[in-house]
Amino acid sequence: IVPRALLLAAMGSGAMMISHANDAYFWIIKEFSQLDTRETYRVWTRLSIALGLASLLGVLLVYCLSCLFLDTSLMFLDFQQH
């Protein structure tokens, strides 16, 4: 059984993985870093991918640790309520 909080965290890490110029946070980063649009897009795309992967690894680590300590199976996801 996968806790809902971990599912939400995994979805959030995937959602933050790709950021585009129509994202308001992109323009905040651009203004505060004082970079031009092209440079900000290049840097922010790489950084957002790294942040997304790092947060996904964190979610997987928490899931694996919870499976070890809560004695649940890592082999399948059971979404049914018992």
Q: Encode pLDDT of 52-61 as tens digits.
A: 899 989 988 9
User: How far is residue 7's CA from residue 69's CA, in Å, rounded to a whole number?
Assistant: 18
pLDDT value, residue 68 = 79
Q: What's the confidence (pLDDT) of residue 32? A: 95
Counting as low any pLDDT under 70, the low residues of the chain are 1, 71-82
CA distance 52 to 54: 5
Would you state the pLDDT for residue 71? 60
